[in-house]
């Protein structure tokens, strides 16, 4: 297959027709060898991580289809750790859309003056620009519109979809006595320009807590798909 782009945790290959193929790697983001879904660098490599992330992503993308949420998902090949997806156009060089149910991570680091660590948040949505060099800066709706990355109507739709998707994930976790603290999603436009969820939904882009605290991505997949 023809490599189009080598990412931090996934490589992108040319697919047939209007598709591309994502190869899930065993690399995960983190800092100094410690996993951190919000980090910008590859922190460590975990055997089986790629397949595990793909199993979770397949599970959740199929759930999204059941709920009528548009995603780029076409099919998965777990053995090869590849996922065939519809081609998407990005908003600029990519946005990350975060939905928060607890004040942890960068939210707490920024707003600790006005919140307790871990306090509940009501599906708080925020957007950051994918920009390693500038440390993924947060940006407001007005900022996104002013820079021409999306329209005000698209932002509202993005926010509504983010809350719906995150709510579905939260509910699935709750069925296994797990709590979703926050989750990071990516969106693109399909060939007709309609919004769809892209990238992945796995332990690598969410924080899940159980009765013994934070649940690592591999463990999360075992608990979710048991």
Q: Is 124 in the site for a copy of itself (CB under 8 A)?
A: yes
How far is the C-alpha of 15 from the C-alpha of 22, rounded, in Å? 9
Q: Is 209 in the site for a copy of itself (CB under 8 A)?
A: no
Q: Which three-class secondary structure state does DSSP give residue 223?
A: helix
For a copy of itself, give the closer residue by CB, 82 or 166: 166
DSSP 8-state secondary structure symbol assigned to residue 87: -
The residue among 22, 14, 57, 15 whose CA lies nearest residue 185 is 57
- Of 23-31, 78-86, 133-141, 169-177, the window that binds a copy of itself (rule: CB under 8 A) is 133-141
- Of 5-13, 114-122, 201-209, 212-220, the window that binds a copy of itself (rule: CB under 8 A) is 114-122
- 149-188 mask for a copy of itself (x: CB under 8 A)? x---------------------------------------
How far is the C-alpha of 182 from the C-alpha of 126, rounded, in Å? 11
Contact residues for 25 (Cβ-Cβ < 8 A; gap 6+): 9, 10, 11, 49, 50, 81
Q: What are the DSSP calls for 50-66, one per residue?
A: HHHHHHHHHHHHHHHHH
- Of 23-31, 38-46, 117-125, 160-168, the window that binds a copy of itself (rule: CB under 8 A) is 117-125
Which residue in the set 7, 48, 112, 118 belongs to the binding site for a copy of itself (CB under 8 A)? Answer: 112
Sites of contact with a copy of itself (CB under 8 A): 92-93, 109-115, 121-122, 124-126, 129, 131, 133-134, 137-143, 146-149
């Amino acid at each position: 297959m023809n490599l189009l782009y080598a990412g931090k945790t996934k490589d992108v290959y040319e697919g047939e027709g209007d598709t591309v193929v994502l190869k899930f790697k065993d690399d995960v983001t983190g800092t100094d060898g410690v996993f951190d879904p919000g980090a910008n660098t590859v922190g460590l490599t975990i055997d089986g991580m790629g397949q595990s992330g793909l199993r979770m992503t397949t599970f959740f993308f199929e759930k999204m289809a059941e709920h009528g949420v548009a995603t780029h998902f076409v099919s998965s090949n777990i053995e090869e750790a590849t996922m065939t997806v519809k081609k998407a156009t990005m908003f600029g060089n990519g946005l990350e859309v975060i939905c928060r149910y607890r004040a942890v991570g960068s939210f707490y680091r920024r707003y600790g003056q006005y919140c307790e660590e871990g306090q509940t948040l009501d599906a708080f949505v925020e957007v950051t620009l994918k920009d390693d060099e500038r440390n993924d800066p947060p940006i407001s709706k007005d900022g996104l519109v002013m820079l021409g990355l999306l329209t005000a109507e698209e932002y509202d739709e993005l926010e509504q979809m983010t809350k719906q998707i995150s709510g579905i994930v939260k509910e699935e976790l709750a069925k296994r006595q797990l709590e979703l603290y926050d989750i990071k999603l990516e969106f693109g436009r399909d060939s007709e320009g309609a919004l769809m969820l892209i990238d992945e939904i796995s332990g690598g882009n969410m924080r899940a807590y159980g009765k013994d605290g934070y649940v690592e991505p591999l463990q999360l997949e075992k608990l979710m798909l048991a």
